[in-house]
A and B are shown apart, each in its own frame.
Chain A
Amino acid sequence: MIRFTFKRLMLMVLMLLGLLAITFTISHIVPADPAALAAGPDANVEMIERYRVEYGLDRPLAEQFLVYLGKLLSGDWGKSIHTTRPVWDDLVTYFPNTVELVVFSIAIAVLFGIPLGIVAAVNQNRPIDHVIRVLTVTGVAMPMFWLGLMAQLFFALKLGWFPLGGRIEMMTDPPQAITHLLLVDALLNGHFGTFVDALHHMVLPAVALCFPALASIIRVNRAEMLETLKQDYIVNARAQGLSTFRIVAVYALRNAMLPTMAMIGLRFGWMLGGTVLIETVFDWPGIGLYAVQAAISSDFEPIMGATIVLGFFFMLTNLLIDMIYGTLDPRVREQV
């Protein structure tokens, strides 16, 4: 298991370098004139030239890439034009909000997706299975932003059950930042009212964000459960007198979980991408909204910062999923 972990970690470092190469390419090579882009839309020729020299854009690409890496490592992620703050500081402010949202959201997707997949599989071709299948098929086809809008329209505006958007009530004083995760900080500071309020704000965006992932987790888990329940070892388990519940919930589920885990990892990427939509719809002060606002005004460094952070976060979760995979399946552990 240690070798397995080490190997995965090394792979991740390589992937991270690849990711940085991509952001470097996009920021230094793709734009016709990166200096003009970096200098901002209102810059004149002299300013652009000054930028070109200041940013080393006149030097060879390999050197530029090394300089780029060095700057990132030293915490110099550039400056945002529209917030006028260093990108790193912005990311520290906004990223935790996104983490809270996606973690809550993927938790919903997994906690509901797996049981619903099992229920559908066990009741194959019965009405409940058909209902679940219709829901999942529509769920995957639903544009996340539109689902968010419709949820706002119905649950916030018509029924008034949930707030329209935002992270907490305008008038609330945020708790002292310890972890920067609002929910955790609220608890640590004993602000239970704030905690409940923050949670209340999170429900609609999290549900809208989780829907496509939920749908695909149900689909995969259902298909895998059906496949697993046909296996010989399930027949054997029945022949030995194990209860149906134990067979389904332990013997079959553990095997079906392997492909489901892979799907969860994949969909987590969708979800991270989806934050740009959901945060825009619900005015959620996260990294997605930050990136979109930057992209609209061609404010370059914040976009790259957000891309790196989201990509890194995605790699980290995939590493975690690989580890869980390794614990679940002894054969994978030994392959390395």
Chain B
Amino acid sequence: MTDQPLLSVRDFRLEFDTFDGVYRAIDGVNFDLIPGESLGIVGETGCGKSVTAKSILGLVPTPPARVVSGQILYNGEDLLTVGEERLRALRGVEIAMIFQDPMTYLNPVFTIGQQLVDVILAHQRWRPSEQRLNRAQARDHAIDMLSRVHLPNPERQLDAYPHQLSGGMRQRVLIAQALSGNPRLLIADEPTTALDVTIQAQILDLIAELMGEFDLSVILISHDLGVVASLCQRVVVMYAGQVVEDASVTRLFSEPGHPYTQGLLKAVPHPGRAASTLSGIPGTLPNLYDPPAGCRFQSRCAHAMPMCTTVPPLYAVADGQRVACHLHAPEASRAGVA
């Protein structure tokens, strides 16, 4: 923890105003990202991981969303208050993002080239005037980017329309687009979920390769612990809009601290382990229109105890591992409950 964090999310709370009431999507999320680090955010659908990621770039429409409290500090600058104009200057240039479904994130009526060049030209506005690229240079840069994501025939692909490319190729195009502004932080929101398993591995390898090449820090969002384990050094586990555990990947897999994390790990199929040992977590996500008092996992937790009706803080356990569960409360551990 010697480094100043590149990104620091502090006590972030966000709600959606809907017809059915206030939906408390994010409720007090905290985590840091150190430069050069790759951080995974894991959780099931609806746990708020995507909303958190989109909030970093100000991509959650307000209304219906409303930031209740907190800060998202990027190099000490609070992204929640800087305003749209400043965010635009950061998007793609400092912080870039790639998304889940490469089928729908490219505009169907423009060629790959048009979309790449457009983004590159948009970034020029923030560069010193002597370094700005003109249209022809932007096109060359686009071709260069496509070859760096290992898209075959980059020059020819510029004139292709998205529907003419396969899912994996499109994801490469999106990565090329995201990295074309040479950002320092890449947020990857479920980048492989919509792809075939073999393609998944290729894309993950590509991201790992580009991390070194572009000196990137990465936030990888996934519901799949396996994907996170293959790319990340540290993992934040989210449940129902809250962070329940924050640990290094090795620590998380060897000593999962939160009952929810333990459940997640048990649900991951493993070669060499019989399918019968696989188990799901009983129950469903709590109702976030009216969340239960205290720990949000208590209704599904085998270790639930009276204390769980109070909100557990993130208890520091060991090796930088922090767990939001009363099982790790100092007095509880003294009593040997854990």
Contacts and interface: CB of A to CB of B under 8 A. Distances in A.
Interface in A295-336: 328-331
Contacts of B161: 330-331
B123 A241 contact: yes
B110 interface: yes
A254 B110 CA distance: 9
B137 to A, nearest CB: 18
Contacts of A258: 109
Contact of B91 (A233, A240, A329): A240
Contacts of A237: 107, 119
Interface residues of B, number: 31
B148 to A, nearest CB: 17
Interface residues of A, number: 22
Nearest to A230: B61
B122 A241 contact: yes
B66 interface: no
A240 B101 CA distance: 16
B300 interface: no
A82 interface: no
Contacts of B181: 240-241
Contacts of B106: 233, 236
B8 interface: no
A331 B119 contact: no
Contacts, number: 78
Q: Is the interface of A mostly helix, strand, loop or mixed?
A: helix
Contacts of B163: 330-331
A81 B26 CA distance: 79
B57 A239 contact: yes
Contact of B104 (A233, A240, A242, A243): A233
Given A231-B104, A235-B99, A242 B122 contact: yes
B99 A243 contact: no
A71 interface: no
Interface of A: 231-233, 235-244, 246, 251, 254-255, 258, 328-331
Interface of B: 54, 57, 59, 84, 88-93, 96-97, 99, 101, 104-110, 118-119, 122-123, 161, 163, 174, 177-178, 181
